[in-house]
Structure 1
C-alpha cells in the first residue's frame, strides 16, 4: 500500500510538472488558449523574403503564416473565394475589381503593401527610341495588366489609346501606332521568356525580379510613380466577411512597418515602393 501511495504521488507531481512545461511552451502565442493560429497566405512566385520578415513579428502575436504558392495570377483569388486560403497578396486594386466583376465575388482589400512600377525590357535595344517599324512587343494578357501595359507604351510615346477606356484599354483601343508595332499578349509569367523572340516585353516588377532582372537598372523604360499610381498599389486581400478580422488586421499592421520598408528596398532592388505612407494604410 505504501508503494502504491508513493506511486500515485509521483504521478501527480509528474502531471503538475508536465502541465507547467506545456504552459511555457505555448507562451509564444498571445491568444487566450495559448495556441498558435495559422493563416494561409496565397502568393505568386517564389520570393517570400518580405513576408518572412513580417512572419518574425507575427510569431510574437501567436500567428503563423503558411504560404500557398501559385504560378500565375488566375489562381489565388479563386482559392481565396473558395476558402482554400485565408488571404492573398499579389494584385493591385484594378485587378481585384475586375476579378470581382467577372466572377461575381466580393473580395476586398484590407491593406496596402507596395507600388511596383511596370517596366519595358529588351535584350535587343537599350532605348525605346530604337524600336523599328513592325517590331513586336509582348504584354501581359490579363485585362488589367494588359491595359496598364498599353498605357505604359502610350507614356513612352509609342502608341495612343482611346481615352474613353481610361485604365482598361485593350489592343483594339489603340488609336495611333506610327511604328506599326505588333502587340503579342502572353500570360504575365511568360513575358520574361519572350524576350528572345520579341523586340521588347512589358514585365510586372515582381515577375522581373523573379526572372533575375533589376527593374531600376535593366528596364529600358519604367512606369512613373505619381498620383495616377494608386489603383496599381499592391494589396492584401480577404473575403468580405473577414474584412475586420482581428488576426488579419494584425498581419496588416505587422507588414506596414519600418522594418518591412528596409526589406522591400533590399529585395526589390529599389523597384518596389512601400505604399502605406504615400497612399494610406488601406
Structure 2
C-alpha cells in the first residue's frame, strides 16, 4: 500500500510539474517587451497595467530607450520586441539607411501634429523677412518640418521632394528665412533664442506646450500628412507574429483611447487604418 501511495504521489508531482511548465511556457509566449520614450512610454506603461491587456492575455513589459536609432536597433537585435515612438516616414527612412537590419510595421496608432511655435509672432503671416527657424536635425523630421512650412505658405519645395529631403530642396523662399538645425528634443528650450521653432508634440507636451492651442500653425490629419502617422514596429522576422499584432488592437481599445484623449488633451489623434493606407 505504501508503495502504491508513493507511486501515486510521484505521478501527481509529475503532472503538477507539467502543468506549471505549461503555464510558464504560455506566459513566456504572451510576454511582449515594448520599447518606447516620452509620452508614448507613459501610454504603454498604462496599457501594461490595464484590465484590457490582462483580458487579451498579454504580459507587457515596458522598456525606456530615449534615442530613436538605438531603440530601432534594440528592436532588430531582439532586446525589444515591439517599439512605439516613430512615424511612418521615420520608419521608412530608418529602413533605407539600415538595409541589413530592417523593421516591419505592425499597425497604425495616431497622428501627433507637428507645430510651428514662436514667442515673437502670433500668426504665420507675422513672420518677418530674414527670420530664423529652428528645425529638427534628423532626416525624417527635417523633411516633415519643411513640408509643414510649405503647407503654411512660407516656402515652396522642389517637385521631387521626398522623405529624406532637406533645406537644399527648397525651391522658393520669398521671406529669405534662415534655418538652424537642432536636436528635436530641445525645441521648447530654444524658443527664446530663435524667431520660430518647429516642435513635435511629444517634445512639446514634455515642455508644457499644447500643439492645438500654443502653436501658431500645426498639421491636420489628411492625405498630405499620412506619412507622419505613428506606427508600432518590430523586427522584420517578426512581422507575422500574432501576439505582437494584438498590441495594435489593444491600443485602439475604446477604454484605452478614452484614457489617451483625456491625458493628452486630444493631441494624439487616433488613426486606425490598415497598412495599405500608406500605399494609396
Quick one: distance in 2 between partners of 1:272 and 1:173? Answer: 30
Quick one: distance in 2 between partners of 1:251 and 1:225? Answer: 23
Quick one: distance in 1 between partners of 2:77 and 2:24? Answer: 29
Q: Calculate the aligned-residue CA RMSD, in Å.
A: 2.7
Matched position secondary structure for 2:27: coil
- Corresponding pairs, count: 263
Aligned to 1:199: 195
Checking the alignment, whether the CA contact within 8 Å between 1:46 and 1:69 is kept in structure 2 is no
1:125/1:252 CA distance change after superposition, 3 Å: same
Aligned to 2:271: 275
Of the two, which has the highest radius of gyration? 1
Aligned to 2:44: 51
TM-score by length of 2: 0.84
Structure 1 moving runs of 4+ over 4 Å: 30-34
Q: Residues 87-116 of structure 1, C-alpha deviation per residue, up to 9 Å, x if partnerless?
A: 101111111111111111221100110011
Q: Does 2:81 correspond to 1:86? A: yes
Matched position secondary structure for 2:185: helix
Shift of 1:73: 2.3
Consecutive unaligned residues in structure 1, runs of 5 or more: none
Q: Does 2:35 correspond to 1:42? A: yes
TM-score by length of 1: 0.84
Shift of 1:216: 0.6
Aligned to 1:137: 133
Checking the alignment, whether the CA contact within 8 Å between 2:131 and 2:176 is kept in structure 1 is yes
1:72/1:188 CA distance change after superposition, 3 Å: farther
Q: Does 2:243 correspond to 1:247? A: yes
Quick one: distance in 1 between partners of 2:241 and 2:165? Answer: 36
Checking the alignment, whether the CA contact within 8 Å between 2:109 and 2:251 is kept in structure 1 is yes
Q: Does 2:88 correspond to 1:96? A: no
Residues 21-170 of structure 1 mapped to structure 2, 5 A cutoff: 33=25, 35=27, 37-45=30-38, 48-55=41-48, 56=50, 57-104=52-99, 105-170=101-166
